[in-house]
Structures are given as C-alpha cells and as structure tokens.
Structure 1
Amino acid sequence: MINISVPARICFFGDHQDYLGLPVIAGAIDRYFHVHAKTNNSSSFDIFLKDLDKRIKIDLNDSLDNIQENDYVRSVMSILKKNGMEFIQGYDLEIYSTIPVNAGLSSSSALIVSWIRFLLQSQQFPGKPDNKQIGQWAYEAEVLFFNQPGGLMDQYSIAQGGLLFIDTESGESEALNPKLGTLVVAESGLAKKTLSVLKNARVYAQNAIQAVQGQYPDFEILNATESDYERYKHLVPEKYLKHWYAAVLNFHITKCAKTELSGKNPNTKLLGDLMNQHQAILQNQIQNTPIEMQQMMEAAIAAGALGAKIIGSGGGGCMVAMVEEHTKQNVIEAFLNSGAKAAYPVNITEVS
C-alpha cells in the first residue's frame, strides 16, 4: 500500500510576478491532496477520483502520443518516461482532496506533485530526485507541456514545503521564517478565472517592460527599484501603465517582506500592512478581485485582521487573512457573514 499526501499552497507576496521572472514568497499549508494505492494484477492504473465520483483507466503501455489538454496524469507520465521511468506495475488508486478546486490554492499542482511522488515510489526510475526536481517536473507537466501562461511558483512551493522565497528565474529557493501569525483561509464561492486573468496580466506587464527597454535596452526588471515606476512611466503606453506600476511596486513589496521574514521574530503587523499594500495593487492595477471578495476582505479587516489578500491568479477563488489568535474567530465569522462559502484556520507545513 502506498499513501501520499501533498499540501496546498498560498502565495503571500509576489502574485503575478513569477511569469516576469521576479521572486515570490509562497508557503505550503495543511490542506492536502491524498493518494491511496495498492497493486493490482492488471497492466493499468485504475484511478478513482472520489471527489468527482469518476474513474480513469490508463494502460501502462499507453503511447502518450495524443494527450488531451489539461490531462495532467498523462503529461506527468510523458515527462517522467522521457527522463527514464519505466511503467512496470499496475495499481488501483483512490484520490481525494481537502483542497477546494478552482479556488487559488493550487489543487491542480498538488494533484500533479502527488502523482509524481506516487510514480517515483511505485515504478522503476533511475536515481533519487530531490524536491526541487520534483517541482521542476510538475512545472513542465502543468505549464510547459500545454503552453499555459503560469510560472513555477505553485509546483516548486508544493514540492518543497515550508515558507519559501523563490527566485523564479533560477528556481533557487530560500527557506524563510514561517511565523506569519495565525492564518485564515476563506472560500469566496466564486469560480476562479485563471487563464484569462493570467494571460492579460502577463501580456500587459511584458509589454510595459518592453516599452521601457525600447528606450533603455539595458533595463532589467530584476534590478528595478521603487522609484523606477516614476522614472520610466512616461515611456509606457497608457494601456499598460497599471501593469507597469504592479510589476515594479509588487516587486518592492516582496523584497520588503523577505527582509522581515529573514529575521528571528517577524513583525506580523508590518507583514499584514505589506499584504494589504499587495492586495491594493492586485485589486486596483491587476484588477483581479471581484467586488464581492473586496467586501469580504474589508469585513475581515474591520473584524481585526492584520492583512488580507486574494490568493492565486484571481477573478474568484480564495482569500487569506493574517490575524491574531484572539481575533481569529471574529475574522472567520466576518468572512462568513459577508458571503464567504467557508472560512477556516490553516498553518504553514513542511513536506513529510
């Protein structure tokens, strides 16, 4: 019997930055994707998706030549096969999750990482890949394989666990102090609009940066400072100006948060204020936060939350709030009373 549990993730700082090659701060949380598997006598994977009440059967000898869009189970198999995996044993699998689907907590990336971990345990593979490599394969299987517009944050943070500062250019990560205070996740009940939000935000931000580089070819967004927004904004077309602001100022906020989280006793009130600044940019410049979710977060702040932000690409999905222990229940009730589908405490977790 093989049992796999893989966590969800929250991006705390740096949303809409990883596809620009800018760093992010993300953490794995204690909501999980579970895989239970036992060997069978067939040459196939017989998969029961419990939450969907759906069954999938995959032959071990599947050519993997014609993989449908978003078929992450087969895209993972294709990636691992190209890296030397041999599929030698069939399994009956039950897969279920406590991660809300299409809500910003990266249920799809958790599925992919859990499937990779299962295959590495159950099939024949040369070597023992580390967690970073698992994150890279997950990124290849989810984003690059289907030419989707996301970055590598989700896969890397889920595969490695804890709270990480991730250099999305190199893939290198640095463990940060996970003491963000008490955390509350709220599910808005609104479906996330991942691909449309990501595509527009990515293209607009890239066009803004290219406009600056048209006059200053040596300009690199990785070297940008807070003052560069004003310095170069006259070069950016009006259509892309909000995303230019977001690229530069969100980067600055992420660097400030990293400095605070690199110490022994992070100031949670300061981090909450940085989270609110980040959310203001997501809301006003990236424009990824529906009015209903804005109202939910305003209610959470009024109930004592230190900071609150939308999670993931936006358009719907989940929110996270930083709270103090004595205000936790008040914030949960504020989310629920303002229309949230669910609200509950979560913790940063390591990969087991």
Structure 2
Amino acid sequence: MIIIRTPLRVSFFGGGTDFPEFFAENGGAVLGTAINKYIYHTVSHLPSWLFDHKIRFSYRKVELAPDLDSIEHRPFREILRYCGVHQDVEVNLASDLPSFSGLGSSSSFTVGLIKGLHALQGRCVGNEELARCAIHIEREVLQETVGLQDQVFAAYGGLNIVQFSGRGDFNVERIAIGETRLRELNDSMLLYFTGRTRHAQEVEKAKLDKLADNRPTLRKMLGLVDKAHGVLTGSGSLAVFAQLLNDSWVEKRKLDASVSNPEIDKLYDLGMTAGALGGKLLGAGGGGFMLLLVPPERQTAVRAALRSYHEVPIGINAAGSTVVHA
C-alpha cells in the first residue's frame, strides 16, 4: 500500500492573475503557502480476479467498477486513463478539511492521485512534471475553469512567489525569511470556516466572462504581490502586510457579485471590529474559509467575537505532495 499526503494551500495575494487568459498578456504572480492540512490517497494493487470488480474507489461513496468507463467520478476516471491504469487498482481518499472551501482541494486531489499512480507503477515524478500534469488534466482533459497556482502549491509545497507568463509557464521562488519571521506570520493567522462550500468553477467562470472589465482590478491585485513580498522579507511590522491583505480583499470583491455575500461580510466585519488588522476570503469566493491576520495580543477578543464560527488552526510552509508510506 502506498500513502500519499498532499497539502492544501492559502493564497495571500495575486489569486486570479494565475489564469492564462489574464497572464498571457499581463503577466501573473501569486504569493501563498502550502499548509499542514492535507488530502490523503492510499493506492494499492487490487487482485481483481478474486472480486466482481476491477477498480475500487472510496471517497464520500464507494465505487466498484468493472472497467474504467463505468467509473462515475470523472476526475478520478480521467486521471487513471491519463496515467495508463485501467484495472487492478484500489484508491481510498481522506481529507482533513471539506472540499470546495477555497483551499485548493480539487488540485490537491489531482496532484496526489497522479503521484500515487506513478508510485504504484514504480515511477518517480518531479515537482514540475507533477504540477504540469495536473494542470493539463484539469484544464485540457477535464476542461475545468481553473488557474495554475493550486497545482503548483500542491506539488511544490512551501511559502512561495509563483510567477506566470506565456500560455502556461511558471517559476517558483521560495520566499527567503527566517524562522522568527515565519513564526510571526504563522502565529498571526486565524482561519475560520464560513459554513458554506461552493464550486469554484462557477465563480471563476463569472469572473472570466467579465475579463475585459476586470483587467484593471486584476492588475492592481498583481501589484500587491511585490509590495507584500517586500513587507514580508523586510523587518517592518506585519500590520502593513495585513493592510495589503485587506486591500486585496477590497479589489477581489469587485471581480463579481458572487465573491461575497452578507454572511461573509458579517464574519469579516466582526473580526475586524474585534481587532483583526486585515484578511480576505480564500479561493474563488462565495464561501469556504476566511483568513484573518490578528496580533497575538488581540486574538482572545477576536475569538470571542467569532465564537459562533469554527476556527481551524493551521501551520504554513508545509512540504509538497509526498509519499509517506510505500
């Protein structure tokens, strides 16, 4: 049995500029981090001659399929097909956090499964190839409306700036900060679940449909990436980083009406009034997780104000998709 652990991610700045539809002409960049919340795949050979099925896939339901084309879960089916696995395989899926919640879980699923199927066949796949395979499957095979950052963070892990250019080129740069600064950032992050999940593709498609109108806003969001990097790698207060995060949230809300709603606005306003310095909704919008940056001395007050919401403790700078057992 092979066990693959693949991280989820938090995107601080630049989300939306990682779509080729935008960065092919304007360039793109994202500042974000893999976090210590994961998707797990267990992958093993299935002795199908002993059963009445040749493929077993366990997720929120269990599929026992006699052949590849009988699998209902389309991403799973097409990833198996792409990796040349047509039978005699069992895959079980588990996740630390809900899907469709703004943490890149769909791409973590894709990356982890590709890595696991390669490992099952005795093949090692590097980070760049892993990310590019996942991007190809999601955008070209499945025709999903997704950007490129989630696949990269799932494959590479780390706290990074990822730059995008051309029709699909990317460059991953680890952010060089010391342990003290890293701990300062980590200790200021509070993550709250809005109570809503959503399909990111619907929100992203609405944004792309208005790309001509959204370009100026996306350019402003792109400009915040370098500013935030400068703050993070400098010696100044992270309060400026938090304010830039707030600025990014203000711009992000302009991309489409579906990005926020009264419930999300209420959570954010409660946190800011209680002492948060900045924050944003993670992912495409419409639900999922809200990130707030709060100095440690103010966190008791913020937690009290948000006691009706579920907080999820996280750690940043997690490793990329990894074989943890073979």
TM-score (norm 1): 0.77
Query: Deviation string for 1:88-108 (max 9, x for gaps)?
Result: 983433211112121111221
Per the alignment, residue 112 of structure 2 pairs with 114
- Counterpart selection for 1:123 from 105, 109, 121: 121
Matches within 5 A, 1:127-276: 128-169=124-165, 170-177=169-176, 179=182, 180-182=185-187, 183-205=189-211, 207=212, 240=213, 243-261=214-232, 263=233, 265=235, 267-276=237-246
Q: Structure 1 residue 332: deviation in Å?
A: 3.4
Paired residue secondary structure (1:76):
helix
Instruction: Return the alpha-carbon distance in structure 1 between the equivalents of residues 145 and 3 of structure 2.
Output: 32
Q: CA deviation at 1:199?
A: 1.3
Structure-1 residue corresponding to 2:16: 16
1:57 correspondence with 2:64: yes
Q: Distance in 1 between matches of 2:265 and 2:224?
A: 20
Partner of 1:225 in structure 2? none
Q: Which residue of 2 aligns with 1:77?
A: 80
1:344 aligned residue:
312
What corresponds to 1:226 in structure 2?
none
Residues 235-260 of structure 1, C-alpha deviations (whole Å, 9 max, x = no match):
xxxxx2xx233122111111211223
Q: Indicate if the aligned counterparts of 1:14 and 1:25 stay in contact, CA closer than 8 A.
A: yes
Matched, 1:47 2:54: no
Q: Where does residue 4 of structure 2 map in the other structure? A: 4
Tell me the CA shift for residue 285 of structure 1.
Answer: 4.5
- Please point out which of 269, 276, 295 is paired with 1:298: 269
Unaligned runs of 5+ in 1: 82-86, 208-239
For the aligned residue pairs, the C-alpha RMSD in angstroms reads: 2.4
Distance (whole Å) between structure 2 residues aligned to residue 138 and residue 276 of structure 1: 31
Which portions of structure 1, spanning 4 or more consecutive aligned residues, are displaced by more than 6 angstroms?
A: none
For the residue of structure 2 that corresponds to 1:171, the secondary structure is strand
Q: Secondary structure at the match of 1:155?
A: helix
**Could you list the per-position Cα deviations for residues 143-201 of structure 1 after superposition, in whole angstroms to 9, with x for gaps in the alignment?**
22122222111111111101111112221111114723422211111232422321121
CA offsets per residue over residues 4-37 of structure 1, 9 Å max, x none?
1111111110122111121111211111111234
Q: Deviations over 1:55-112 (max 9, x none)?
A: 12356x73x6x987x711122223333xxxxx49834332111121211112211111
Q: Given that residues 297 and 335 in structure 1 are in contact (C-alpha distance below 8 angstroms), is that contact kept between their aligned partners in structure 2?
A: no
Shift of 1:334: 2.7
Q: For 1:247-286, what per-residue CA distance to the aligned partner results, in whole angstroms no more than 9, with x for missing partners? A: 221111112112233x264641111011000001112444
Alpha-carbon deviation of 1:124? 4.7
Q: CA deviation at 1:289?
A: 1.3
Please tell me the residue identity of whatever aligns with 1:347: G
Determine if contact 1:181/1:323 at 8 Å carries over to the other structure. Answer: no
Distance 2:305 2:55 in 1: 44
Q: Look up the equivalent residue of 1:153 and give its one-letter code.
A: Q
The 3 A distance-change label for structure 1 pair 328 and 56 is: farther
> One-letter code of the match for 1:199?
K
- Contact kept, 8 Å, 1:188 with 1:316, in 2: the verdict is yes
Residue 199 to residue 37, structure 1, CA distance change in 2 (3 Å): closer
1:133 aligned partner, one-letter code = E
Distance in 1 separating the partners of 2:156 and 2:44: 26
Judge which range, 153-162 or 319-328, deviates more: 319-328
Give the 3-state SS of the residue equivalent to 1:195 in structure 2.
helix
Residue 306 (structure 1) shift: 2.4
1:10–1:105 CA contact under 8 A, matched in 2: yes
Match for 1:2: what amino acid?
I
Question: What pairs up with 1:307-322 in 2 under 5 angstroms?
Answer: 307-322=278-293
Q: What's the CA shift for 1:318?
A: 1.4
Q: Is the 8 A contact 1:177 1:266 kept in 2?
A: no
Q: Which has the higher contact order (CA 8 A, sep 6+)?
A: 2
CA 1:192–1:290: 2 relative to 1, 3 Å: same
Q: 1:145 to 1:266 in 2, by over 3 A?
A: farther
Which of residues 89, 92, 103 in structure 1 aligns to 2:90? 92
Question: Residue 99 of structure 2 contacts residue 105 of structure 2 at CA under 8 Å; is this kept in 1?
Answer: yes
